[in-house]
Structure 1
């Protein structure tokens, strides 16, 4: 359960329960935001066939920055609604499909 990247709200609630049961401090928003970040990192690793680049939330926790091997930002994942969390809540599968496509473009262009 620890490594589960929730793909929908049912899995978010399962992971939240597991985190709370194991003594972790979490809420629904933190689980969703962790899932979006981990999902983005997964797609970057898959596109590059290894863990060469890193993803992190930007300073305002609004977008996800994609960092290349030199430590420079080579791309960014932005929400279509007010936040990536809101995008997840509206259509988690659609969000992950969009992230996968955007990551492919960032990798292709860099």
Structure 2
């Protein structure tokens, strides 16, 4: 389950802690943003051909094509993607979906 809002983040955090998984709210949000981006990439390509990873500064999400080079990047509108999620998770995921579609179309 990819949390889509703060209620689901808290549910996933509780589940993780109840199952002995080391997690906090920040890590659950960051994983949700990364996993959500990977989901949109997979959907746009109709398969798992590209990979998404946090950039070295853990600020942006890099989209890697089949050759292993960065073909696109998801950047925050605020200070961080975590903050974007906290302010408007649905808006963030809609923006990511649109940005992924542009990256796929251009590559």
TM-score, normalisation: structure 1: 0.97
Structure-2 separation of matches of 1:10 and 1:86? 15
- The count of aligned residue pairs is 107
Q: Is residue 14 of structure 1 aligned with residue 14 of structure 2?
A: no
Structure-1 separation of matches of 2:103 and 2:35? 17
Gaps of 5+ in 1: none
Within-5 A mapping of 1:31-46 = 31-46=28-43
Q: Which residue of 1 aligns with 2:71?
A: 74
Within-5 A mapping of 1:1-110 = 4-110=1-107
Structure-2 separation of matches of 1:90 and 1:96? 12
RMSD of aligned alpha carbons: 0.1
Provide, for residues 64-97 of structure 1, a one-character-per-residue CA deviation record: whole Å limited to 9, x for no partner.
0000000000000000000000000000000000
Gaps of 5+ in 2: none
TM-score, normalisation: structure 2: 1.00
Structure-2 separation of matches of 1:69 and 1:20? 36
Structure-2 separation of matches of 1:68 and 1:47? 13
